[in-house]
Amino acid sequence: MSSSDRRLFLTSLLALGACGFSPVYGPGGAARGLNGAIEVEAPQTGDEYELVKRLEERLGRPEATRFTLGYRLETHEEASGITASAETTRKQLFGTLTFTLTEDATGQVVQSGSVTSFTSYSQQGTTVATASSAQDAHKRLMVALADLLTTRLIAGAADRAG
């Protein structure tokens, strides 16, 4: 990085600080108040397990919980690659995660909504390869949904703080 690039970078950081920007994970940031403070409903399926696992990676394992996160997960698949002989070569996996974040002390819903995402996987190859591709697609979809939800929760926390 040249010295003029460094100056531009540092000037940009100072400008962000002057306009009220503060990192969500920094001291006093909105995300710090959520870390370890959310008890996610127990998973009932493999997809839900992957979802909760990722949420706990992003938000911390529940310690001094102040909130409960309820959710409903819906997924469905659609054929997306079809050969001239009507053989499916690819599937798309769609997911919708509807959530409600409730404050434990008051029972008040502080955030609710839904996030959606999709991924796809190949149907070509052996039965084992196809099953492995499908399983990987489900894991990727749960990570995407958990990341989208985490972003929404942090943004909502920042809205309430500021």
85-124 pLDDT, tens digit each: 878 888 999 999 999 999 999 999 999 999 999 999 998 8
Res 125: pLDDT:
85
Q: Tokens for 1?
A: 């990085």
pLDDT of residue 46: 97
pTM: 0.80
83 or 94, higher pLDDT: 94
- In the chain the domains, ranked by start, together with CATH numbers, are 34-161 (3.30.160.150)
Query: Could you tell me which of 51, 150, 153, 161 has the C-alpha nearest to residue 112?
Result: 153
Rounded-to-integer distance, Cα 157 and Cα 148, Å: 14
